[in-house]
Structure 1
Amino acid sequence: MKYSFEYIEKWIETDSFANKLLNISYFSKIQLKDYVSYIWNKEFGDNVTLIELAEHRNVSKQAISDNIRLAKDNVDKAMATFILGVYANLIPLESIMIYMELLELLRDAKESESELAFQKMRKKMMIILDELL
């Protein structure tokens, strides 16, 4: 498993973007760790299973599955909240473009093949988040 729980724990603790994401999201730290370790390892060709993650954490496969499901639900809830805010005019018109730019950068960062390109996009996202928060 290329992205271990220790690696992800260090990422959450040391990366200011990860900390902001955790602080402004619905995620618990355990949900985020399970979700990120599962998704990152899958995307980078490491066919990690829920059973392997469960064995590594000494919990049941169901607990890992629940955390991943809850994390996905929370991502959906965050997107739904954003869309509702736009349609209900709760998000000021002036800031909609900033949010759209942030969503675009998030998509580009996720699809990026290069670690350097990902880091540059993450820096741009941090600047945008600092302006918003």
Structure 2
Amino acid sequence: MEYDLDYINKWIETDTFANKLLRKSNLTETQLKDYVAYVWNKDSVTYEKLGEKRGITKQAVSDNIRLAKENIDRAVATILLGIYANIVPVEISDILIELLALSKKAKEGEEEDFLEIRKEMLKLIKKI
């Protein structure tokens, strides 16, 4: 794995974005770790490898990732409903679209690009 579990643990402990995500979402720390490990290492990791590294079953990893995806899907659906019902201002929707575009670039970029894009994402989040 390119991003090992120690790296992800340090990221969760020290990164303000990760801490906000944990505080403001329904994700548990374990779900976030499994989901991030899977997404960041998608090309080189399987549920089995993640389970072996954490000492849990493939099914447990799969459940954590599924629950994380469901929570993320709910959050996105809530945002879209808020925009549609005019509860969330259109300006914020523009910021959210920028965040989605940046997250796509971050996923496809190199580590230095990722760190730079993450800084831009945090600036956008502060605007909200």
Instruction: Judge same fold: TM > 0.5, yes or no.
Output: yes
Equivalences for 1:1-133 in 2 at 5 Å? 1-43=1-43, 46=44, 48-112=45-109, 114-132=110-128
Q: What is the CA–CA distance in structure 1 between the aligned matches of 2:69 and 2:101, rounded to whole Å?
A: 19
- Structure 1 residue identity aligned to 2:111: E
Q: Which runs of 5+ in 2 are unaligned?
A: none
State the secondary structure of the residue aligned to 2:66.
Answer: helix
Q: Which runs of 5+ in 1 are unaligned?
A: none
Q: Deviations over 1:80-119 (max 9, x none)?
A: 111111111110233222222222222222222x222221
- Structure 2 residue identity aligned to 1:71: A
Percent of aligned positions that are identical: 53
Deviation at 1:12, TM superposition (A): 0.9
Cα RMSD, aligned residues only: 1.6
Q: What is the CA–CA distance in structure 2 between the aligned matches of 1:117 and 1:104, rounded to whole Å?
A: 14
How high is the TM-score relative to the length of structure 2? 0.88
